[in-house]
Amino acid sequence: MSIITDVLRSSSAILKGMKRTLSEIPREKWTVQYPEEPVTVQPRYRGMHLLHVDEAGKEKCVACYLCAAACPSDCIYIEAETDPRPYADRIGRDERYAKVYNIDYGRCIFCGFCVEACPKDAITHGYNFEISVYNRADLLKTKDDLLITKQKQSKNYRVALSTEDVDSEFKEV
């Protein structure tokens, strides 16, 4: 192959690349100036988990361990406890509740198997993705981090198709 053919082929490749780049310039920009502008996440997005409560604020989790058994990453740790007090006084909706409920986000792969396995709809994926930390140990989240009534919510995202700034499922504390 001659040098001239080589130069022509290279020039053609460069022109092709430049044409593609220039054609993108007038198009709508998808870049978001996060965190100044909120990021839009899709309704199916799997973010940090939420542990749910019933209408009276009682925890729905009955510490059955099904989520932990379904987890392929072995990142859920639960300690069960029994609270025989009347419904109005106890922590959970049922007598049995999770005294300890930890998820290690250093291992979680956000597969959603735990959510599928739960017979009480006690755990779902929320939309919070801001879980970056400087220390690996801080990726271990406890019940206080996961409970829907306690989890700190960010204003830095909105859910697509939602009219609110953040998903209505979230509560600010």
Figure out which of the listed residues 41, 50, 53, 71 binds ligand SF4, where binding follows CB under 6 A: 71
Interface pick for ligand SF4 out of 39, 91, 117, 139 (rule CB under 6 A): 117
Q: What angle do CA 57, 60, 66 make, to 5 degrees?
A: 160
Residue 124 pairs in a beta bridge with 50
CB 72 within 8 A of CB 108: no
Contact assessment for residue 117 and residue 69, using Cβ atoms and an 8 Å cutoff: yes
Please choose, out of 7-15, 17-25, 113-121, 157-165, the segment that lies near ligand SF4 by the rule CB under 6 A: 113-121
User: Is the CB of 41 or the CB of 118 nearer to ligand SF4?
Assistant: 118
Compute how many other C-beta atoms are within 10 angstroms of the C-beta atom of residue 14.
Answer: 10
CB 145 within 8 A of CB 102: no
Q: CB-wise, 53 or 62, nearer to ligand SF4?
A: 62
Least gap, CB of 99 to ligand SF4 (angstroms): 12
DSSP string, 5-73: HHHHHHHHHHHHHHHHHHHHTTSPP----TTTSPEEE-TT---SEEE-B-TTS-B------HHHHH-TT
Per CB under 6 A, 78 contacts ligand SF4: yes
**Window 27 to 66, contacts with ligand SF4 (CB under 6 A):** 61-66
- Rounded to a whole number of angstroms, the minimum distance from the CB of residue 43 to ligand SF4 is 17
- Is the peptide bond between 38 and the residue preceding it cis, with omega within 30 degrees of 0? no
Residues 122-151 that bind ligand SF4 (CB under 6 A): 122-123
Among 118, 147, 148, 159, binds ligand SF4 (CB under 6 A): 118
Applying CB under 6 A, the residues found at the interface with ligand SF4 are: 61-67, 70-73, 75-76, 78, 98, 103, 108-114, 117-118, 120, 122-123
